[in-house]
Amino acid sequence: MKRRHYPHHYHHRKSGSPKQLTMEAASLKARIVSELQAVKRRSGKTYAQIADETGLTNVYVAQLLRRQAQLKPSTAPLLRAALPALTDDHLIEMLQPPLRSYDPNLIQDPTIYRLNEAVMHFGESIKEIINEDFGDGIMSAIDFYCSVDKVKGVDGKDRVVLTFDGKYLPHTEQLTENMVSRLKRQEQQDGKPKLS
């Protein structure tokens, strides 16, 4: 199979304006995603099947193939086994930190619009319950798991189960004594380190 050569670490280049580099990064990402999606389609496998073979969630597999997540070295052989048509260059690119982004026009898709509407409609109640059960904080979208499951309702009809499983992150009380940057500046001004 012919190998494609991508300009790795394009976001670290010094030449070009930030806007130009961002556009180049987005263009490269779009091209790679198109190729990864083609590999997945040709395999005939669903995201759920690939998830079972790799031990990942189905949504995370989709994120990997859309360059919205970084492929970890330990997972690369499993993904390669599940999708043998992936080239070495595909894997090398997927091992790089991705440009996580989205097209604002996605909101026009009915599925995405409805998800956004559901979060906005139920968001205030969800926040209130998080605050009530955990305290003043948020759910992380970094230390985070997401999956989509298909179940039968009591009426026998298909239902979508969307799971958000995120770490609780409390808001920090901003005590000056814990602000390392301020302590460092004070040490420089005093000319000596502060005793602990």
Half-sphere exposure of 60 (CA within 13 A, CB side): 21
CB 124 within 8 A of CB 118: no
Given the residues 3, 27, 42, 117, select the one marked as catalytic.
117
Catalytic residue status for 117: yes
Q: Indicate the residue type of 188.
A: Q
Given the residues 27, 140, 182, 185, select the one marked as catalytic.
140
Catalytic residue status for 114: yes
Measured distance between the N- and C-terminal CA atoms of the chain, rounded to whole angstroms: 61
Given the residues 3, 114, 159, 185, select the one marked as catalytic.
114
Catalytic residue status for 187: no
CB 159 within 8 A of CB 151: yes
Residues assigned a catalytic role: 114, 117, 140
